[in-house]
Amino acid sequence: MINRSATTILKKLSKGYPVITITGPRQSGKTTLARAVFKHKPYVSLEEPDRMEFANEDPRGFLAQYPDGAILDEVQRCPSLFSYIQSIVDNSRRPGFFILTGSQQFGLISSITQSLAGRVGFLQLLPFSLCELKSNGILPKSVDDILLKGLYPPVYDRKLSPSSWYANYAFTYIERDVRQMVNVRDLSTFQKFVRMCAARTGQMLNLSGLANDCGITHNTARAWLSVLEASYIIFQLNPHHRNFGKRLIKTPKLYFHDTGLAAWLLGITDPKQMSIHAMRGPLFENLVISEFLKGRYNRGLFSNLYFWRDSTGNEVDMLIEEANTLMPVEIKSGQTVTTDYFAGLNKWLSIANAAATHPYVIYGGNEGQKRSGVEVLSWREIDKLSNKI
């Protein structure tokens, strides 16, 4: 098993909360992590029809089987359990009593906030980080390999081509989750919608344009986008609100939690194709931003990431908010550092003045350097920054 960075915060949470909830996309390693950290607890998958039926029809009797708690996998399938779990943990007052996992974010959190508010420690577990691969000696040498292969654990655990695994992932999990969460009458249209989302990776979200291109209504596009967010397939990066006297763009950007899935949806099948593809730059930007998101989640923190763009086109790819300061990060997929890499940063620094902290450039090359007061990090060195902010 590859050591997960989130292990530390998971153990810490289990000492302070009676219920621990691990959310994240399917196949991100939630169950593996839970079973590794809580080896003494029985494991129950609520995707098994007989167990799910038992839990829904007789929640009290179901939970009575586990007097010392348990790991309950995909617990959002049995919402009737939450009120009974509340009663049990309130009476026992034991930390780390129940470990709940789920891959449908909104439904799970809604049930928890209704019944278990104040009793739950949350951990969001995304696929592997570059840091985790590097520390275990399995980080691919080429950034194009990473963009294509993605970071889902099964791609590294099994001898399968990324294209084969992502094809089955999309069919088995994404489409099945969609059917459970929203009524999709035309599955082929939804498949087109997901591919169109991938084609917009790193772009401003134009919901009306997306809906028109797919031949669906604005409200349907919004509902389907919510489903993809709830299933940890996509996320939106919001613009930072501070305007510095400039008129700001207020539309979020669209990203995928994993570049391997986005690349498969785009029809990219090998590293050579990736190296010359028009979406290589946006996918690289996606990779870097998702790595910073993982760094936050793996320490039990919420996102503090934004981008900044004004109406005249001045832009910073990522702003990291810390207290009252903002750390600007420019992201470039090229392998050679040029003066153009610093233009956007220098413009923003002149506007932000005292609000700005040390600027960074993260690029697709292999060696870090310092130039003109800006620290340049290789994609291999992202963890030097992502695990600290």
DSSP code, position 3: P
d(CA 85, CA 69): 10
What confidence score (pLDDT) does residue 153 get?
95
> Exposure string (b/e) for 316-350, b if CB count within 10 Å is 16 or more?
bbbbbbeeeebbbbbbbbeeebeeebbebbbebbe
Distance CA 370, CA 210 (A): 41
Task: Give the model's pLDDT for residue 235.
Answer: 97
Task: Give the E-state strand segments of the chain in sequence order.
Answer: 19-23, 43-45, 71-73, 98-102, 120-124, 234-237, 253-256, 305-309, 315-322, 325-332, 360-363, 369-371, 374-378
For residues 265 and 383, give the distance between their C-alpha atoms in angstroms, rounded to a whole number. Answer: 27
Query: What does each of the 389 residues of the chain score in pLDDT, given as a tens digit?
Result: 789 999 999 999 999 999 999 999 999 999 999 999 999 999 999 999 999 999 999 999 999 999 999 999 999 888 889 999 999 999 988 999 999 998 876 666 666 767 787 889 999 999 999 999 999 999 999 999 999 999 999 999 887 889 999 999 988 877 777 766 776 777 788 889 999 999 999 999 999 999 999 999 999 899 889 889 988 999 999 998 876 767 677 899 999 999 999 999 999 999 999 999 999 999 999 999 999 999 999 999 999 999 998 888 889 999 999 988 999 999 999 999 999 999 989 988 988 888 889 999 999 999 999 988 899 999 999 999 998 88
User: What pLDDT score does 105 carry?
Assistant: 66
Helix (H) or strand (E) holding 8: helix 7-14
Rounded CA-CA distance 309/316 in Å is: 7
Amino acid at 114: Q
Site of tokens 């695990």: 387
The residue type of 262 is: A
Least Cα distance to 241 among 256, 229, 251 occurs for 251
CA distance 159 to 102: 26
Strand pairing report for 120-124 and 305-309:
unpaired
Neighbours of 291 (CB within 10 A): 21
Residue 168's alpha-carbon distances to 7, 27, 225, 327, 366, in angstroms, are: 29, 12, 21, 39, 33
Residues 6 or more apart in contact with residue 69 via CB below 8 angstroms? 41, 94, 96, 97, 98, 99
C-alpha distances (whole Å) from 100 to each of 103, 122, 195 are 11, 10, 32
Output the DSSP codes for 179-211: HHHS--S-HHHHHHHHHHHHHTTTSB--HHHHH
pTM (2 decimals)?
0.94
Gap between the Cα atoms of 66 and 305, Å rounded:
40
Structural contact between residues 256 and 286, judged by C-beta atoms closer than 8 angstroms = yes
Q: Please, which residues have CB within 8 angstroms of residue 183's CB and are 6 or more apart in sequence?
A: none
Q: What is the pLDDT of residue 317?
A: 97
Top-tier CATH class for 7-124: alpha beta
Q: Parse the chain into domains and list their residue ranges.
A: 7-124, 130-386
Predicted pLDDT of residue 241: 80
Instruction: Enter the tokens of residue 375.
Output: 């620290």
Look at residue 171 in the predicted model and tell me its pLDDT. 85
Given CA atoms 229, 132, 282, 141 in this order, what sign does their dihedral have?
Answer: negative
Cα–Cα distances in Å, from 128 out to 8, 22, 25, 297?
15, 15, 12, 12
Give the pair of three-digit tokens for residue 22.
């691990």
Residue 307: both structure tokens together? 């981008």
Check residue 388 and give its pLDDT.
84
CA-CA distance, 185 to 350, in Å (whole number)? 52
